[in-house]
């Protein structure tokens, strides 16, 4: 089928989850929009139907867009997948390429929010904020005393970053200039400028783990990075070291991590992304010294609106036959 325009002259777009209002309004100015009014996860059949019956599909991180859904879209009207979110590991990019359907994403606009949530997790861990809040709410706080919930400072400690892209750099900047931390990192390609903070690039993940008090994951989830924090990498961490994951669950071997936490091999973990989320590994739920957040990395009003505006920008470029600003696949 071709991209025949409806009477409105606008292309149709299928949006799988509700967006902040300002972004939905902007989308409606340029497209015939189908919203998921109930904002519940859509069934596979609903996704297939939505992809097939709209010119553009705008899924998000929590939708699994496999080859069959892409093929149904291609057999129907879908000519663009404009993802609401920067990560595209939930979309079968090879299938999209095989059907000549471009995929766009929303880079840049969630860098600061995600770096902020990374610092939140680091601070919550080393200052024992989660423990303290749970204790107080449970009515178990017996009052101030010099030895109560004593944590550690960030200042003077070493942060190891895996994946020095936009978000990795923003975290390095906050950690170094805001909290006086030293930074080391691993990255696929060489980074010449020390990420602007005098950071040292090390040869591999194990070297970063061995050199760091905090290891923070900022790589994209790809076939190469699947389980990059495996049992060996976790074993290479310093005793008492903390693992932070605001990237994707797939980059961590959660079974190995839960075991290391329960065995006290590492100091703790701060996680904002999980394999199979929103289901959470039971051994992580019960692990000590662990802060678990429900994928809040980009969850500020400003960022979530900006992500929607990125989809609008990409979809408008597509409608105009222009180059796509954020082609991810």
Residues at the contact surface with ligand DGY, assessed by CB under 6 A: 61, 85-87, 110, 295, 297-298
User: Of 58, 67, 72, which Cα lies nearest the Cα of 17?
Assistant: 58
CB 84 within 8 A of CB 41: no
Catalytic residue among 90, 169, 176, 248: 248
Catalytic, 277? Answer yes
Smallest gap from residue 297 Cβ to ligand DGY (A): 4
Smallest gap from residue 250 Cβ to ligand DGY (A): 12
Catalytic residue among 68, 131, 135, 277: 277
Smallest gap from residue 157 Cβ to ligand DGY (A): 26
Smallest gap from residue 61 Cβ to ligand DGY (A): 5
**DSSP letter, residue 306:** H
Smallest gap from residue 107 Cβ to ligand DGY (A): 9
Residue 157 or 248 having the CB closest to ligand DGY: 248
**Residue 149, both tokens:** 């919930």
For residue 83, the Cα-to-chain-centroid distance in whole angstroms is: 13
Residue 181 or 252 having the CB closest to ligand DGY: 252
CB count within 10 Å of CB 240 equals 13
Residue 117 to residue 270: CA distance in whole angstroms: 10
Residue 77 or 295 having the CB closest to ligand DGY: 295
Residue 241 or 308 having the CB closest to ligand DGY: 308
Residue 193 to residue 19: CA distance in whole angstroms: 37
User: Of 276, 289, 305, 301, which Cα lies nearest the Cα of 106?
Assistant: 305
Residue 86 or 154 having the CB closest to ligand DGY: 86
Instruction: Strands of the chain (E only): list them.
Output: 12-15, 32-34, 56-58, 80-82, 103-104, 158-162, 182-186, 200-201, 214-217, 242-245, 268-271, 290-292
Catalytic residue among 295, 304, 313, 316: 295
Residues carrying an active site annotation:
248, 277, 295
């Amino acid at each position: 089928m071709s991209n025949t325009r409806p009477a409105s002259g606008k292309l149709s777009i299928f949006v799988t989850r509700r967006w902040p209002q300002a972004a939905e309004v902007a989308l409606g100015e340029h497209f015939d929009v189908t919203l998921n009014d109930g904002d519940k996860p859509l069934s596979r059949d609903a996704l297939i139907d939505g992809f097939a019956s709209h010119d553009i599909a705008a899924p998000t991180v929590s939708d699994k867009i496999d080859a069959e859904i892409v093929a149904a879209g291609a057999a129907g009207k879908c000519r663009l997948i404009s993802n609401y979110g920067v990560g595209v590991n939930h979309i079968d990019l090879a299938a999209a390429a095989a059907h000549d359907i471009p995929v766009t994403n929303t880079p840049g606009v969630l860098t600061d929010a995600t770096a902020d949530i990374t610092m939140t997790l680091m601070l919550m861990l080393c200052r024992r904020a989660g423990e303290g809040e749970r204790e107080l709410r449970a009515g178990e706080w017996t009052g101030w005393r010099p030895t109560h919930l004593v944590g550690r400072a960030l200042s003077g400690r070493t942060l190891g970053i895996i994946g020095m892209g936009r978000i990795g750099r923003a975290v390095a900047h906050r950690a170094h200039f805001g909290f006086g931390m030293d930074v080391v990192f691993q990255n696929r390609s060489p980074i010449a400028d020390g990420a602007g903070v005098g950071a040292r690039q090390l040869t591999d993940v194990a070297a970063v783990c061995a050199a760091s008090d905090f290891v923070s994951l900022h790589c994209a989830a790809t076939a190469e990075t699947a389980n990059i924090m495996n049992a060996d990498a976790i074993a290479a961490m310093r005793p008492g070291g903390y693992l932070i994951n605001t990237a994707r669950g797939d980059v961590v071997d959660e079974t190995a991590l839960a075991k290391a936490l329960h065995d006290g091999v590492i100091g703790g973990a701060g996680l904002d992304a999980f394999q199979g989320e929103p289901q959470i590994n039971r051994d992580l739920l019960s692990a000590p010294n662990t802060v678990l957040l429900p994928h809040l990395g980009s969850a500020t009003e400003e960022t979530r609106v900006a992500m929607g505006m990125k989809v609008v920008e990409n979809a408008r470029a597509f409608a105009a036959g222009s180059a796509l600003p954020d082609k991810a696949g």
